[in-house]
Structure 1
Amino acid sequence: MASILPASNTSMRSDRNKYIGKGFVHVKNPYLDSMDEDILYHLDLGTKTHNLPAMFGDVKFVCVGGSPNRMKAFALFMHKELRLEDSEEDIKDICAGTDRYCMYKIGPVLSISHGMGVPSISIMLHELIKLLYHARCCDVTIIRIGTSGGIGIAPGSVVITDKAVDSFFKPQFEQVILDDTITRSTELDKELAEELLNCSKEIPDFPTLIGHTMCTHDFYEGQGRLDGALCSFSREKGLDYLKRAYNAGIRNIEMECTVFAAMCRLCGLKAAVVCVTLLNRLECDQINSPHDVLAEYQKRPQLLIAKFIKQRLGLHD
């Protein structure tokens, strides 16, 4: 287990009682409160080994993304944007005792990696939500930031998701639990999406739109690609599928949004998905933009979320 970390003592630390509302994080598990100890194994944390309210009680914003390196970069970026008094050297990976995920705390902001695909983000979300619950966090906003494949829009466009849909274009998440198939709603917070869109309008040369996002369980065949080790369909059939997705209002494809939306909704978390597109899938299957262009694209969700958080905290550029 990681050592017990002290609560943040930076100038950005906020007393949770200053926040209006009682939007505490919920868990939907009647067995949790009867447990003597809850070990958050994949985060290297636990209710007996760590003082979770002291460590995380002031968290108001949680940002999650697939890549550990990107989430560390986001943490360092937020440190500069929030003008915190402590040093960048004090920003340590709280999950350093495990090789599954990384987590950084920057004032009221958590930056966490979730890996790739529904199973990986699902495991992380179970333990993250329990962490926020045990820490008695309230009025938390959680945002997934990442990259995606665009459908019918220019590379570099930022898509704010209004509906997270499955491969059949339905706004739902299906999960097999024991021998039952459970269907859960993937509704996201509409006001939060509009607030993020308004923030984007204040950033010059920042193409942003609200649209549906499709979540698939595979990067290759599941997304209609012709360049995987397997391909069981024709070029025409793959392109027809993507065109039908576009006509259904889908503007990008990724691999996590449905379970993210479903779990956050059930547990009382206001959630949003903000992903930049790296290519237009109606034109090609492989990313062919130069590395410097891709690096600039990948920073766009971070820029938008930083502006959103600063506005929420009453900070100005």
Structure 2
Amino acid sequence: MVTLATTHPCSINLSLFVSNSDCFIQLSNPNIATMQEDVLYHFNLSTSTHDFPAMFGDVKFVCVGGSSSRMRTFIKYVAAELGLDHPGKEYTNICAGTDRYAMYKAGPVLSVSHGMGIPSIGIMLHELIKMLYHARCSNITIIRIGTSGGIGLEPGSVVITQQAVDECFKPEFEQIVLGKRVIRNTNLDPQLVQELVQCSSDLNEFPTVVGNTMCTLDFYEGQGRLDGALCSYTEKDKQAYLRAAHAAGVRNIEMESSVFATMCSACGLKAAVVCVTLLDRLQGDQINTPHDVLVEYQQRPQRLVGHFIKKSLGRA
């Protein structure tokens, strides 16, 4: 399996007297600099009503995931692991004025929900990245933690994404902009992948693999399921497609990684995707695992990333 090299350039704000080692968020949008106010509508935050540097300037780690309850659980877990607050402390939802997304903060860690699918995480990332930019954050590591369907893996396996690919197994994200097709790469940070692999070895608690992650626009036909309201193919067709995906290095399927990789790469963010598999799609389409087992599975990416943060801060 070949690791694809990539770099994440630093965008230095020359009006700030900082060392050359600081890597600031870069926005590929000159319009932001001319705006008197930037309203982050889906977060219920604004540069005119909130002091972003005071609220978020110390953030170094951002973890995002689909469910708001899962991200609340994660911030409580990582705060306890870092010894930031007393056990059982409840964290306030910073985006409490909206029901679109939830955001929690503990020390240098930010935990944000993104909903399900490319449109939902795409909207969240636009506003999150702008928020970090306005807060003058530097040297940010952002990791998506979530669930997925595995291909040829035992349920409960954790996949660290080497490359996000589309439904044709290409490392690309395609978007229509002003009626034109725009294709961007889906690079992730290879060094961060290796650091996460080492953290998994440190824990030695669950099977972890590095592989490509296929990002789809749909949960049913887009992932070759046979149990949706529409289905125009056979079990044989499905198996052939999933086995072709496996041969192309794909080890799991979800619905957010491509736009996540694209946007983070374009804005100079060191990024990774860590997802647990809830089933092996070669064996079936529906999840029948008991709830308590699924809950433990969902905690695995959290434990891995929590250990990475502790280790990065010298607290492991």
Provide, for residues 92-118 of structure 1, a one-character-per-residue CA deviation record: whole Å limited to 9, x for no partner: 000000000000001000000000000
**How many residues are treated as equivalent by the alignment?**
300
Is 1:119 the counterpart of 2:119? The answer is: yes
Q: Which residue in 1 is equivalent to 2:236?
A: 236
SS at match of 1:137: coil
Q: Which residue in 1 is equivalent to 2:77?
A: 77
| Deviation for aligned residue 1:91 | 1.5
User: What TM-score do you get using the length of structure 1 for normalisation?
Assistant: 0.92
Quote the RMSD (CA, aligned, Å).
1.4
1:36–1:173 CA distance, 2 compared to 1 (3 A): same
Q: Which residue in 2 is equivalent to 1:10?
A: none
| Deviation for aligned residue 1:18 | 11
Give the aligned residue type for 2:226: L
Q: Which residue in 2 is equivalent to 1:203?
A: 203
Provide, for residues 199-250 of structure 1, a one-character-per-residue CA deviation record: whole Å limited to 9, x for no partner: 0011133100100000000000000000011111111111110010001000
| Deviation for aligned residue 1:295 | 1.0
Indicate conservation of the 8 Å contact 2:164/2:214, yes or no. yes
Residues 78-87 or 171-180, more deviating = 78-87
**In structure 1, what is the Cα distance between the partners aligned to 2:193 and 2:20?**
21
Is 1:280 the counterpart of 2:280? The answer is: yes
**In structure 2, what is the Cα distance between the partners aligned to 1:117 and 1:183?**
18
Q: Which residue in 2 is equivalent to 1:133?
A: 133
**In structure 2, what is the Cα distance between the partners aligned to 1:189 and 1:313?**
19
1:131–1:87 CA distance, 2 compared to 1 (3 A): farther
**In structure 1, what is the Cα distance between the partners aligned to 2:196 and 2:90?**
30
SS at match of 1:253: strand
Indicate conservation of the 8 Å contact 2:80/2:86, yes or no. no
Q: Which residue in 1 is equivalent to 2:271?
A: 271
Q: Which residue in 1 is equivalent to 2:44?
A: 44
Q: Which residue in 2 is equivalent to 1:214?
A: 214
SS at match of 2:206: coil
Residues 27-36 or 202-211, more deviating = 202-211
| Deviation for aligned residue 1:291 | 1.4
| Deviation for aligned residue 1:85 | 3.7
Q: Which residue in 1 is equivalent to 2:6?
A: none
**In structure 2, what is the Cα distance between the partners aligned to 1:36 and 1:247?**
51
| Deviation for aligned residue 1:314 | 0.6
Q: Which residue in 2 is equivalent to 1:59?
A: 59
**In structure 2, what is the Cα distance between the partners aligned to 1:270 and 1:307?**
17
Give the aligned residue type for 2:250: I
Q: Which residue in 2 is equivalent to 1:163?
A: 163
User: What TM-score do you get using the length of structure 2 for normalisation?
Assistant: 0.93
Indicate conservation of the 8 Å contact 1:79/1:88, yes or no. no
